[in-house]
Structure 1
Amino acid sequence: MHMNKFGKAVWQGGIKDGKGAISTESGALSDYPYGFASRFEGQPGTNPEELVGAAHAGCFTMALSLILGEAKLVAEKMETRADVTLEKLADGFSITAVHLTLKARIPGADKATFEELAAKAKANCPVSKLLKATITLDATLEA
């Protein structure tokens, strides 16, 4: 199976005074604003790091759903947050870490099995494989 999807960005102006807009093929984002202020100064708008975080959380959670199914388990609910760390290093800015926080209700799963399957999903999720960052995971199985 082979699949191509796209996202696109438009930018006008310099790094600090410029403005950008991000769009996705699906239309989930359509000319959504981003810029220096939304990336580094906490102003409204999106930024590449939160988009990577959303993509990673979504990919990991879907991968875990597949792995759970292979183990004859089905999640009642899974919620994943991906905290993405952007750091200025000697050679420029890099995404150095992603911390996944998963909370899940999975009937019939015990803690050990759940943690093993979540770790497998973290390692095998396509977005995890893409990133060179350190990826950590806290997984909580709720009753």
Structure 2
Amino acid sequence: MASIKRSATAHWAGTGKDGKGALTTQSGTLKETPYSFTARFGDGQGTNPEELIAAAHAGCFTMALAFKLQGAGLTPESLATEARLTMEQEAGGWKIAAVALSLTAEVPGVSPEQFQALAADAKATCPVSRVLNAEITLDAKLEG
């Protein structure tokens, strides 16, 4: 069985609310990128874990759909996905409750029914969708 491993590191100094952290990814795309309480729960500078999960989900789903389309003999001209992650506070703390994927696509030669089926399959099978314990919705629009 093949496997792929990826890594990232986090460094934090200080309290949860007043401290500051930095994230670095194996690829170097993030290199000591700041994150903090205000970036996570307000509008402070830097990134936050949930924003990164949303970016990962948008990217994973979009690439999965490109592969599904390719497998069906189709080549998309454009696939644009937004992932809106919702966190909710409950008795035990915060949780990722939902991710809403919104896709706009231009795919010559695909029927609306085939497009919806391939998009739903990509949503269900992309690795990030499979790891999240959240409600995941998809609004897929075919243009052109």
TM (norm. structure 1) is 0.98
Q: Which residue of 2 aligns with 1:122?
A: 123
Matches of 1:7 and 1:86, distance apart in 2: 22
Matches of 2:58 and 2:9, distance apart in 1: 20
Q: Which residue of 2 aligns with 1:31?
A: 32
Q: Post-superposition shift, 1:111?
A: 1.0
Structure 2 counterpart of 1:55, which letter? A
Matches of 1:91 and 1:40, distance apart in 2: 17
Q: Which residue of 2 aligns with 1:98?
A: 99
Structure 1 counterpart of 2:106, which letter? R
Provide the aligned C-alpha RMSD in A: 0.6
TM (norm. structure 2) is 0.97
Q: How many pairs were matched up?
A: 143
Q: SS at 2:67's partner residue?
A: helix
Matched, 1:12 2:13: yes
Q: Post-superposition shift, 1:53?
A: 0.4
Structure 1 unaligned blocks of 5 or more: none
Q: Which residue of 1 aligns with 2:140?
A: 139
Structure 2 counterpart of 1:44, which letter? Q
Deviations along 1:83-105, one digit per CA (max 9) or x if unpaired, are: 01111112211000000000110
Q: Post-superposition shift, 1:70?
A: 1.1
Deviations along 1:67-117, one digit per CA (max 9) or x if unpaired, are: 111111111110111001111112211000000000110010111110110
Matches of 1:8 and 1:55, distance apart in 2: 16
Q: Which residue of 2 aligns with 1:21?
A: 22
User: % of aligned pairs identical?
Assistant: 52
Runs of 4+ in 1 over 3 A off after TM superposition: none
Q: Post-superposition shift, 1:131?
A: 0.2
Structure 2 unaligned blocks of 5 or more: none
Q: Which residue of 2 aligns with 1:113?
A: 114
Matched, 1:80 2:81: yes
Deviations along 1:35-80, one digit per CA (max 9) or x if unpaired, are: 0011111111100011000000111011111111111111111011
